């Protein structure tokens, strides 16, 4: 019996690709339940992570109460535990690893830190408890999933010794996450649960600093006080026609005032005086015109691809990663997507030309033409902007492969086109402009007009920008001509707070977390690092959303009260290192150093253990009644005694008596204007966004009720008319006309209480759960709109929705989402704009 090589891929689809690539040279494979086998190879796969690390037996805090008595948890070694849903696959792989005729194992998991960890933990789990493990291990490192690339990878396998530093970094990442997550989460949960109840408070090595960035931005937004300012726009009459200019302060320099601009006047009287001074006056004109060029952006790494797809199409980071992974694995159309490099190896020039050749014949119609142009004009040259070995680590930039894709979904096609455009554009010459700055001076005051004429589109031709926009052309003024100030418009405006993060801008902030650091040396040291890795950033954002630390509203990410509460706690306990981007960036840097063999695993883990000990010690020793923070004093007096009501860490409480109410009833946080209104009116709602103990969303009113037993007011939920929906009593709809068919069961939909409901969702025999509010976020939904929703699937655009959290008005359609089984918001597509943002349709729960 000849010895065989076991190949372990990360997913079954990759295992199948490897089998197909090896068959021509090594012979036909026979298919078994969990693997493929021929004379030389056994090929199988994991299904992602099959094993997770666990504390050694007897030290697992899951078996004990979540209390300080069991903390800190600092095991001397980590045991492994199978992940329940994948036990069958793990058992099958363990048997293959132990087979006596298998003397060599090839790690064919994804080329990166996580792929290395998946493989190492499986092999460790499968090793016998006693005796030596004497099988040779090698690494298959794939950047592309085409058959040629797979065969080339097998011809250039990496030795196990070369991969051990990456394996160390992978284990450290996993164990560090476990140590900080277990100790931090359990310490904060124990602290928050001291007064009874169970308040799960999760923290993480990367998620908490990421959340801190979002919370700090929201704090700036909330603290922003609008300042009035005025802009002046003058209309000038020249011989050739009319043009506009904006008033600018001569010699303006940016100072400490972040809102100061050259075109802002802070005093209304001054603005009106300038307008009066120049009205009807002659103006002299000076012009400066010079050529300008703009080079193409670099190739995509994963983070820039995720940011662009979020900006253009509204794709979440998670969606973009899944699409890119499918284009890599399933369609073989893109190179490895989980990369942080935006360059190609210097020996890749030939492949780049071959790729353009494929695109010129089989690419998308317009792009095929540009690929042919790049080849015909010899644009693809060995430039450092594209080909640079010093900017390529284990992976290079995301580019198309030599394999043209077959049938793609609409979303896959959009992402593939983005990558193809960027790949072609990067070789095209710069776009060339003629930029003109005109200064019109009237009565000593200067007005500026800018013009920008596209002379040669260069790379922008790939994005469809062939012709110049008309509004960029300036009305010509003859040399020495004096124009007349025809009119001046004084416009009153207000400063705006910084914009909320979207996934695109948060990914950018995570990638450039070092820029948020004040210390010059640390900032320089973090220049090439950030929060997480390109492969993990999407899952970090999704984790924060799943934990309800953030909400998506349209494209904005909004931190919840739970997020503010966590930041207040960490700051108050003086364990702010958990919130600091520089610390996590430093850890990521150290893991990268470890991958290069420049840092010992033991040194890194010792540092993590010291931090875990300190976090637990701080929380355990904290003995103040409340956590210090930036808390509010309410304007409304206590309903019980007329005293002053103040916010503290967990409640709104009166200083003079025992009155208090929770800040987060039913998992939904009170905004300050809401709690003020609630104390005045003793009632508020109906409000959306509450969640039951089972995690189900519900809508209800809140009321303050006087309790004679405690001689004080207490908060209660009031479900109003909707109580009758759940009391099991028959409901008579005979006097009503049906608004239309139920989209879930085709029953009739009628008005009932504060909702429109399916006739089968109420009464004694409930078989359906369809209902939607008659008022949603302050927007009434009248009979005509519910009729339209039920008969066509969506309403007209309704303009008076008001966000519960931001208090901002927005407009949207209501649409029935079959997959979600409920009514959701659907936003109008953005207008098509060449080379900018393409239409995006986004739905959120209504």
Residue 404 pLDDT: 86
Global confidence as pTM: 0.74
Query: For residue range 208-258, what is the model confidence (pLDDT) as tens digits?
Result: 999 999 999 999 998 899 999 999 999 999 999 999 999 999 888 888 888
Please state, in angstroms and rounded to a whole number, the distance separating the CA atoms of residues 763 and 722: 12
Average pLDDT over residues 382-402: 88
Q: Which residues on neighbouring strands pair with residue 245, listed in sequence order?
A: 234
Q: How far is CA 829 from CA 410, 554, 759, in A?
A: 15, 12, 34
Q: Which one of 212-226, 531-545, 548-562, 657-671 scores highest in mean pLDDT? A: 212-226
Contacts of 575 (CB under 8 A, 6+ apart): 614, 615, 618, 619
Query: For residue range 141-184, what is the model confidence (pLDDT) as tens digits?
Result: 987 778 888 999 999 999 999 999 999 999 998 999 899 989 99
Query: For residue range 70-93, what is the model confidence (pLDDT) as tens digits?
Result: 889 898 888 888 988 889 999 999
> Where residue 525 falls among pLDDT bands split at 50, 70, 90?
very low
Sign of the dihedral through C-alpha 150, 151, 156, 158: positive
Q: What angle do CA 813, 815, 818 make, to 5 degrees?
A: 160
Higher pLDDT among residues 272 and 253, named by residue: 272
Mean pLDDT of all residues belonging to the chain: 86
> CB–CB of 519/323 below 8 Å?
no
Q: Is the pLDDT of residue 472 over 80?
A: no
Lowest mean pLDDT among 6-20, 193-207, 445-459, 690-704: 690-704
Please state, in angstroms and rounded to a whole number, the distance separating the CA atoms of residues 80 and 792: 53
The percentage of the chain sitting over the pLDDT mark of 70, rounded to a whole number, equals: 89
Which of 603-612's residues contact partners 24+ apart within 8 Å by CB, and which partners?
604/172, 604/176, 605/172, 605/175, 605/176, 608/172, 608/175, 608/176, 608/179, 608/180, 609/74, 609/179, 611/180, 611/577, 612/72, 612/73, 612/74, 612/179, 612/180, 612/183, 612/184
> Which active-site residues does the annotation give?
336
Please give the full DSSP string across 779-821, using - where no structure is assigned. Answer: EE--HHHHHHHHHHSB---EEEEE-TTT--EEEEEEEEETTTT
Lowest mean pLDDT among 217-226, 290-299, 689-698: 689-698
Lowest mean pLDDT among 143-152, 489-498, 667-676: 667-676
Lowest mean pLDDT among 263-272, 395-404, 745-754: 745-754
Contacts of 796 (CB under 8 A, 6+ apart): 785, 788, 813
Helix axes 581-595, 160-192, angle to 10 degrees: 160
Q: Is the pLDDT of residue 377 over 80?
A: yes
Which of 386-391's residues contact partners 24+ apart within 8 Å by CB, and which partners?
386/298, 386/299, 386/343, 386/344, 386/352, 386/426, 386/427, 387/343, 387/344, 387/345, 387/346, 387/348, 387/349, 388/343, 388/344, 388/346, 389/345, 389/346, 391/341, 391/342, 391/343
Q: Is the pLDDT of residue 723 over 60?
A: no
Average pLDDT over residues 571-589: 83
Q: Is 253 left (phi over 0), alpha (psi -120 to 50) or beta?
A: beta
Residue 724 pLDDT: 36
> CB–CB of 334/328 below 8 Å?
yes
Residue 835 pLDDT: 45
For residue 237, give the H/E element and its range.
strand 228-238
Q: Is the pLDDT of residue 719 over 70?
A: no
Contacts of 377 (CB under 8 A, 6+ apart): none
> Where residue 836 falls among pLDDT bands split at 50, 70, 90?
very low
Residue 284 pLDDT: 97
Residue 363 pLDDT: 59
Contacts of 665 (CB under 8 A, 6+ apart): 690, 702, 715, 717
> Where residue 842 falls among pLDDT bands split at 50, 70, 90?
very low
């Amino acid at each position: 019996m000849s010895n065989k090589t076991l190949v372990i891929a990360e997913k079954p689809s990759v295992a199948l690709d490897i089998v197909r690539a090896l068959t021509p040279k090594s012979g036909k494979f026979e298919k078994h339940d969990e693997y493929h086998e021929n004379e030389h190879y056994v090929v199988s796969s994991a299904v992602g992570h099959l094993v997770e690390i666990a504390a050694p037996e007897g030290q697992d805090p899951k078996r004990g109460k979540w209390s300080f008595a069991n903390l800190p948890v600092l095991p001397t070694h980590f045991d492994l535990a199978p992940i329940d849903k994948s036990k069958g696959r793990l058992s099958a792989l363990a048997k293959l690893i132990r087979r006596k005729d298998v003397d060599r194992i090839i790690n064919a998991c994804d080329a990166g830190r996580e792929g290395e960890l998946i493989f190492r933990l499986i092999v460790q789990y499968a090793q016998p408890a006693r005796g030596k493990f004497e099988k040779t291990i090698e690494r298959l490192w794939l950047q592309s999933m085409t058959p040629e690339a797979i065969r080339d990878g097998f011809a250039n396998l990496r030795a196990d010794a070369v991969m051990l530093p990456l394996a160390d970094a992978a284990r450290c990442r996993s164990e560090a996450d476990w140590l900080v997550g277990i100790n931090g989460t359990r310490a904060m949960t124990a602290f928050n649960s001291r007064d009874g109840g169970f308040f799960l408070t999760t923290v993480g090595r990367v998620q908490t600093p990421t959340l801190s960035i979002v919370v700090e931005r929201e704090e700036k937004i909330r603290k922003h006080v609008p300042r009035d300012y005025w802009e002046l726009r003058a209309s000038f009459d020249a011989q050739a026609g009319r043009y506009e200019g904006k008033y600018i302060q001569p010699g303006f320099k940016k100072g400490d005032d972040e809102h100061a601009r050259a075109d802002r006047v802070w005093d209304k009287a001054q603005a009106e005086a300038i307008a009066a001074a120049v009205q009807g006056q002659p103006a002299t004109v000076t012009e400066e015109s010079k050529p300008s060029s703009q080079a193409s952006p670099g190739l995509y790494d994963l983070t820039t691809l995720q940011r662009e797809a979020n900006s253009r199409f509204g794709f979440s980071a998670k969606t973009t990663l899944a699409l890119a992974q499918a284009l890599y694995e399933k369609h073989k159309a893109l190179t490895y997507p989980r990369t942080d490099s935006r360059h190609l190896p210097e020996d890749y020039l030939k492949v780049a030309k071959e790729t353009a050749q494929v695109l010129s014949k089989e690419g998308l119609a317009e792009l095929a033409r540009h690929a042919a142009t790049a080849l015909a004009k010899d644009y693809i040259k060995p430039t450092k902007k594209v080909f640079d070995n010093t900017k390529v680590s284990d992976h290079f930039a995301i580019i198309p492969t030599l394999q043209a894709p077959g049938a793609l979904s609409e979303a896959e096609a959009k992402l593939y086109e983005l990558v193809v455009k960027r790949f072609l554009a990067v070789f095209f010459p710069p776009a060339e402009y003629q930029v003109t700055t005109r200064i019109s001076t009237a009565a000593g005051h200067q007005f500026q007009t800018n013009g920008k004429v596209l002379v040669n589109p260069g790379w922008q031709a790939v994005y469809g920008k062939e012709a110049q926009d008309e509004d960029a052309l300036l009305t010509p003024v003859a040399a020495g001509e004096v124009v007349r100030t025809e009119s001046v418009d004084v416009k009153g405006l207000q400063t705006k707070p910084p914009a909320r993060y979207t996934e695109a801008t948060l990914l950018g902030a995570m990638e450039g977390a070092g820029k948020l650091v004040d210390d010059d040396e640390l900032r320089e040291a973090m220049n090439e690092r950030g929060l997480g890795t390109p492969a993990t950033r999407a899952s970090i954002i999704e984790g924060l959303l799943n934990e309800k630390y953030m909400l998506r509203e349209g494209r904005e990410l909004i931190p919840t009260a739970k997020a503010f509460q966590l930041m207040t706690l960490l700051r108050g306990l003086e364990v702010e290192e958990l919130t600091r981007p520089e610390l996590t960036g430093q850890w990521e840097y150290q893991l990268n150093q470890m991958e290069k063999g420049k840092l010992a695993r033991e040194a890194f883990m010792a540092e993590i253990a010291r931090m875990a000990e300190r976090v637990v010690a701080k929380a355990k020793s904290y003995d103040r009644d409340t956590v210090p923070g930036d808390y509010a004093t309410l304007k409304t007096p206590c309903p019980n005694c007329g005293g002053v009501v103040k916010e503290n860490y967990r409640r709104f409480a009166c200083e003079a008596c025992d009155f208090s109410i929770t800040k987060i009833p039913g998992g939904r946080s009170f905004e300050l204007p809401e709690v003020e209104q609630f104390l005045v009116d003793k009632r508020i709602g109906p409000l959306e966004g509450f969640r039951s103990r089972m995690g189900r969303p519900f809508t209800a009113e809140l009321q303050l009720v006087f309790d004679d037993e405690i001689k004080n007011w207490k908060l209660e939920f009031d479900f109003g008319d909707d109580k009758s929906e759940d009391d099991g009593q028959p409901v008579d709809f005979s006097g009503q006309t049906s608004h239309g068919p139920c989209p879930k069961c085709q029953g009739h939909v009628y008005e009932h209480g504060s909702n429109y409901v399916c006739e089968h969702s109420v009464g004694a025999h409930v078989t359906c759960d369809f209902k939607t509010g008659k008022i949603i976020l302050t927007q009434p939904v009248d009979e005509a709109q519910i009729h339209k929703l039920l008969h066509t699937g969506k309403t007209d655009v309704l303009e008076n929705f008001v966000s519960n959290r931001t208090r901002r008005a927005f407009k949207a359609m209501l649409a029935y989402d079959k997959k979600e089984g409920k009514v959701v918001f659907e936003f109008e597509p953005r207008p098509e704009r060449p080379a900018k943002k393409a239409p995006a349709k986004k739905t959120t729960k209504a």
